[in-house]
Amino acid sequence: MTTSTPDTPSPVLILVPGVTGGPADGAARFHLADPAIPQLLVTDLVATRGDGVFETIGVFDGTPVNVGPHLERLSRSASRIELPEPDQATLAEAVDAAVEAHPAVPELTVRVMLTRGIEGTGVPTCWIHARVSDDWSPYRAGMRVVALDRGLSTTVAETSPWLLPGAKTLSYAVNMAAVREAKRRGAADVLFVASDGYVLEGPTSTLLVRRGEQFLTTPVSAGVLPGTSVNTLFARLQQDGSPVHEQLMTVADVQGSDGAWLLSSTRLAAPITHLDDHELPVDPELTARFERVLKGKA
């Protein structure tokens, strides 16, 4: 997984001071900025507290996928942590501007970041960063996954909403630590398991399981992020006549399934070859079809 080589085009940075609807003085709601120089103050609450929300959007051959659903989820995450509501039209325009400003590449990763801003001001900070995507091809070919305890039950959304289940906040240090633990164990990624024994999601992905003709995922009510990728795939699978359901599943259920994937907007559909030491069937043709659908090309 490499990001910058001498041939990789520079990333594009757009600052969005008008994220809540536009500055009163008529200044531009967003503008290009130099990604190679520091832009964030050390007193921004995202730097001191990880206090903010974000989205990661995949762009394939110049077309961003699911911008509306991503920005809606950003608004929901913002509302969960009582941030001012971001203006979706401004952000959609700024995402397009970032894609346009970046040299054409097959796969681009666009991050939309919204923070609580500089301590004491109450003014959120927002920026959009577009860069060449990591090389996800090894993951898309199949990956080993370990099941790791998340330490929270599937009732967390009801019992402890202040833990922000289902919100995409910028406090991802735990998720990244879990991926490092997976790597120490010789795997590429993680499937989180709830304290009541049900599987949840990956640190940056949604679980998809195949059982015969049916496709299953973890219920959002169990405290997982509502994935844009799984929604896109479910809509397509349903159109094609395959039943799709949200269902609580155990590690043994996934190990005994007819295939499983971890889905996300930039890595797309990564098939699980092994869950812990149990081998799972992998269907490269179906995975390739999922990839086309998730790229918005089928």
Binding site for ligand PLP (CB under 6 A): 56, 201, 204-206, 225, 227-229, 263-265
Task: Kindly report the backbone phi and psi dihedral angles of residue 173, in degrees, each rounded to the nearest multiple of 5, phi listed first.
Answer: -60, -35
Min dist. Cβ of residue 56 to ligand PLP (A) = 5
Q: How far is the CB of 265 from ligand PLP (least distance, A)?
A: 3
Nearest-approach distance from CB 229 to ligand PLP, in angstroms: 3
118 or 145: whose CB is closer to ligand PLP?
A: 145
Between 162 and 277, whose beta carbon lies closer to ligand PLP? 162
Which residue's CB is nearer to ligand PLP, number 75 or number 265?
Answer: 265
List, in order, residues 6 or more apart from 49 with CB less than 8 Å away.
116
d(CA 102, CA 59): 11
Question: Which residue, 108 or 118, has its beta carbon nearer to ligand PLP?
Answer: 108
Query: Taking the complex as a whole, how short is the minimal distance between the CB of residue 204 and ligand PLP, in angstroms?
Result: 4
The residue at minimum Cβ distance from ligand PLP is 229
Q: How far is the CB of 264 from ligand PLP (least distance, A)?
A: 4
Count other C-beta atoms under 10 Å from residue 167's C-beta: 17
273, with CB counted inside 10 A (0-12, 13-18, 19+), is: middle
Q: How many CA atoms lie within 13 A of 180 on its CB side?
A: 6
Nearest-CA neighbor of 237 among 281, 200, 290?
Answer: 290
Tell me if 57 sits within 8 A of 42, measured CB to CB.
Answer: no
Q: How many residues appear in the chain?
A: 298
Q: Which is nearer to ligand PLP, 125 or 204 (CB)?
A: 204
The dihedral of CA 169, 170, 174, 180: what is its sign? positive
